Chain A
Amino acid sequence: MRGRAAEWLLPLSVLVLFLAAWEYAAAQYWLRPIQFPPPSRLASSFVDLATRGFPQGITLWSHAGTTIGRILLGHALAVALAVPIGIVIGSYPLVERMTSTIVTFCRSVATLSLLPLAIVWFGTGETAKIFLIGYGCFWVMLPATIAAVKLVDPVLIRAARTMDATPGIIFRQVVLPASLPRLLSGARVALGVGFMVIVGAEMIGTIHGLGSLIMEARTFYRTDITMVGMFCIGGFGLLVMFVLARLEAWLVPWQARQEAQQK
């Protein structure tokens, strides 16, 4: 009896207690409102942001749409490039060994450090941001694809060969489906990286997008909007990840069952 109810009751009450304490502390001026706007203020700012927007006219949804649009585009491009290349690399051990050092290195280059370079090449518009997202996602998706192809269980391939399957059939009907789960989870991680990149990239030289929203808000001393923006970023991030996880479950239903069986 104690167990199940406590599971969610304790976290919930801790949270409520925390918010109440915060509200109280702000009301008593123990906390400076410019640094710690109370939850009530955050709630009203959220409504404000959702309806009237900040800067004037650009609502939360508009910002979110811009950001998510950028991510999806960059991500899609990265995946479209990384998967074919990754399949080739993963299928030929020699190529893999030759490229592994480069791949490792490029992955270590902090994506956002390329922002100045991107500006030089593409100017300060959308292209630079899409490029950055694409770069970040690409170097996550590529190793994931290589691993997905390499780690196909050899037993499956051997079984197919005992059934007289041609290399073409083995590739299309064994390797591809077998690597799909890892590809999808790689895509999910890549999306997370893309999200992190864009938030940073939007903090320089633009007023559209969630990253720029919270940066702009700070310069106007609207800490409340900054905080609301932060939580919204987290929220939208979760939403996108959730949708992708659902997609993954729909595309590869056998993976979940396999994992459950192995438990």
Chain B
Amino acid sequence: MRAAYPLERYAGFIGVAIFLGLWELAARFGWRNPAIMPAPSETIITTLTVVPLWTLAEHVVVSLWRVLAGFALGASAGIVLGIAAGWYRPVALICRPFIEILRPIPPLAWIPIAIVWFGLGEPSKIFVIFLGTFFPVFTSAARGMASIQPAILRAARTMDVDGVKLLAKVAIPAAMPDIATGLRIGFGLGFGVLVAAELIAAERGMGHMVMEARQLGHFGVSVFGVFLIGMINLLADRQLASAIQLTVGRWHRF
């Protein structure tokens, strides 16, 4: 058992290393055409030479600001409405028709109408990201509230805790694991929507950078951009996950 330990620890890294290695070899000796698929080394070189660092940073910052703004709006609205809907039946019933009709519409399908309503600038993109984040957060929050263990609520009531106090001090903390998971899912979806929205209708941002690079013939930059997006998404998700682990994770076994 013990002997396998070092191998286990680095298994992930080894896997990635093998993957990158194979890619590099295949690109150099396989198809040898950087226009089809550049080697990892080539993408980095191309990007560093073609794209000024300043522009790259600008694209990243714009994307991040969009997704954070959209996420903040979507998450807040989702949590507030979700908790209200999960706790007060009338709220749930009133929200239900709108949510059920609008939720199946993929966030990207909102892009054209967002442009009609908000123009081609930032608000339309933030709106779409807001939508992408809102529905998962709302659903998780509502479901979390509805699936609180009844014993906890009963116990609180035997301690003279009721009404709004019950909601704030007992119900919401009890539903936090579900809400936290919903936030994580919502962010992931929001990020995906961001990239797509930037591809389709934007002049700045990482998605746009990938698109533009192809049109200008800098394929290596496109590939690099795709990887950059993946890395940032992964890092952001990791951050969110550890934040959750440090707060809710202290008392809940996920």
A joins B in a complex: yes
Q: Which of A43-51, A104-112, A150-158 contacts B (4 or more CB under 8 A)?
A: A104-112
Within the assembled complex, what's the spacing in Å between the Cα atoms of A204 and B112? 12
Interface assignment of A98: CB less than 8 Å from any CB of chain B:
yes
Contacts of A94 on B, CB cut-off 8 Å? 7, 11
Q: Are B112 and A226 in contact (CB under 8 A)?
A: yes
Q: Are A211 and B108 in contact (CB under 8 A)?
A: yes
Q: Are B210 and A196 in contact (CB under 8 A)?
A: no
**Given A100-B12, A200-B200: A6 and B93 interface contact (C-beta under 8 Å):** yes
Interface assignment of A116: CB less than 8 Å from any CB of chain B:
yes
B59 to chain A, nearest CB (A): 12
Contact pick for B36, options A35, A114, A121, A214, CB 8 Å: A121
Q: Which of B99-107, B169-177, B244-252 contacts A (4 or more CB under 8 A)?
A: B99-107
Within the assembled complex, what's the spacing in Å between the Cα atoms of A195 and B37? 27
Within the assembled complex, what's the spacing in Å between the Cα atoms of A121 and B214? 11
Interface assignment of B87: CB less than 8 Å from any CB of chain A:
no
**Given A113-B210, A113-B226: A101 and B15 interface contact (C-beta under 8 Å):** yes
Interface assignment of B80: CB less than 8 Å from any CB of chain A:
no
Interface of B is mostly: helix
Contacts of A10 on B, CB cut-off 8 Å? 90, 93-94
Q: Are B109 and A35 in contact (CB under 8 A)?
A: no
Most buried by B among A117, A200, A210: A200
**Given A218-B115, A223-B113: A200 and B108 interface contact (C-beta under 8 Å):** yes
Contacts of B191 on A, CB cut-off 8 Å? 110
Q: Are A203 and B113 in contact (CB under 8 A)?
A: no
Q: Looking across the interface, which residue of chain B has its beta carbon closest to that of A99? A: B15
**Given A117-B214, A234-B102: A11 and B94 interface contact (C-beta under 8 Å):** yes
A 129-172 binary contact with B (CB < 8 Å = 1; else 0): 00000000000000000000000000000000000000000000
Contact pick for B116, options A35, A98, A238, CB 8 Å: A35
Most buried by A among B8, B104, B106, B109: B109
Interface assignment of A1: CB less than 8 Å from any CB of chain B:
no
Q: Are B105 and A204 in contact (CB under 8 A)?
A: no
B 231-248 binary contact with A (CB < 8 Å = 1; else 0): 101100100000000000
The A-contacting residues of B in range 102-128, CB under 8 angstroms, are 102-113, 115-117
B123 to chain A, nearest CB (A): 14
Contacts of B102 on A, CB cut-off 8 Å? 234
Q: A113-B199, A231-B105 are in contact. List 17 more A-B contacts (CB 8 A).
A: A14-B97, A98-B15, A99-B15, A101-B12, A102-B19, A108-B233, A112-B199, A113-B196, A113-B206, A113-B210, A114-B226, A196-B192, A218-B112, A223-B116, A233-B106, A234-B104, A234-B109
Please give the residue numbers on chain A whose beta carbons come within 8 Å of chain B beta carbons, in ascending order: 6-7, 10-12, 14-15, 18, 34-35, 94, 97-102, 104-106, 108-117, 119-121, 195-196, 199-200, 203-204, 210-211, 214-215, 217-218, 223, 226-227, 229-231, 233-235, 237-238, 241
